[in-house]
Amino acid sequence: MQNEDLTFWLSWCIEEYAAEKNLLGSEIAGAFEKKGVLSYLADNADILHTQGKNYILDSIDDYIKNHS
């Protein structure tokens, strides 16, 4: 995935996760950076971006649970 596409997709993930959890995107962005979620998403973007929203959000929850 090219850098511009990756940046857009990571932003989408942040905003969708924030909406799901009723939080601000800025809160989620900070938490994702601190917990390594952005690196996880970037490293797995080629596979994850082909999945549905619920799968992606569930995979983020799983990552956070397993890496807290």
The answer to pTM > 0.95 is: no
64: left (phi > 0), else alpha (psi -120 to 50), else beta? alpha
Indicate the DSSP class of residue 51: S
Kindly report, residue by residue over 27-41, the tens digit of the pLDDT: 999 999 999 999 999
**Percent of the chain predicted with pLDDT > 70:** 100
